[in-house]
Amino acid sequence: MAVLLALGAAIAYGLSDFVGGVASRRTSVWPVALTACLGAALGTVVLALLVPGDPTAADFAWGLLGGVGSGTGTAFLYRGFARGRMGVVAPVSAVGAALLPAALAVATGERPTAVVWVGMLVALPGIWLVSREPAPTGAEGTSAEGLLDGLLAGLGFGLLFAALGQVPEGAGFWPVMGTQVVSLVAVAAAALALGGNPVPRRRTDWWGLAAGGLATLAVVGFMLARQQGLLSVAAVLTSLYPAATVLLATLVLHERLHRAQSVGLLLCAVSVVCVALG
């Protein structure tokens, strides 16, 4: 069940990125990022009201720390995309999101089986390859800039997964609501600091609400997976989300699936099988 929940979270994150990416192509990335965070915040408020819980001050602290990671990750991810270096930013951020919580989990005592270790290790090159895209001719920015944005985004999302992994089942979803509110503020502040305008002005800017709703489902899936299994496994499987985005782009937008991406998808499938068998 933990494997299925984590994969559901990966699919939801992949759908969220796909919707946000399509919207960003038609408008500015910052309003889409802001409305995505707003949609996620509204979604978690509904969940918090529907699902009973008894959170402690520590649970809220973890949620707020996760919001710093989520907002930072989103800001640098979108800045990287705006610089035209998606082929660098996406794989680095996804691998970073998997490595940080997995390393923390192992350091604090988790001991996955050998088969699960194989699955997690295979997932890392799989995530990298499936996210890779040939650099477009004349793309703005440099590989160094893209690498830095990807590293910072990966650290942010890794912090999000690591922090939410500490919230117990009995806390409900109020701590996650705090995560999304802090994320909303962090993205708005980052947009203004980096010279962007986060205020929605076009109808397509509000597509971010749908992306945020999907992100809420992803967070729920990740937390439930963590509560029923290992943090290391939940974080790695959830970080397979670029595979869902690439498949959707291929099926819906008819984008070409490159050889490296095909190999990456195969490695992702092997990873899932190994983790499930373990």
- pLDDT tens digits for range 66-75: 999 998 888 8
Question: Which of 215, 222, 242 has its CA nearest to residue 38?
Answer: 215
- Cα separations in angstroms, 88 against 77, 81, 129, 145, 147: 10, 9, 11, 9, 6
Predicted TM-score of the model (pTM): 0.83
Neighbours of 27 (CB within 10 A): 18
Q: Residue 114 has which token pair?
A: 């050998």
| pLDDT confidence bin for 141, thresholds 50/70/90 | very low
Question: Which of 240, 218, 272 has its CA nearest to residue 5?
Answer: 218
Dihedral (Cα; 10, 16, 21, 23), 10-degree rounding: 170
Residue, of 265 and 137, whose pLDDT is higher: 265
Give the DSSP letter of residue 205.
G
Average pLDDT on 224-248 reads: 85
For residue 27, is pLDDT > 90?
no
N- to C-terminal Cα distance for the chain?
A: 13
Give the DSSP letter of residue 142.
-
List all residues 6 or more positions away from 144 whose beta carbon is below 8 Å from its beta carbon.
none
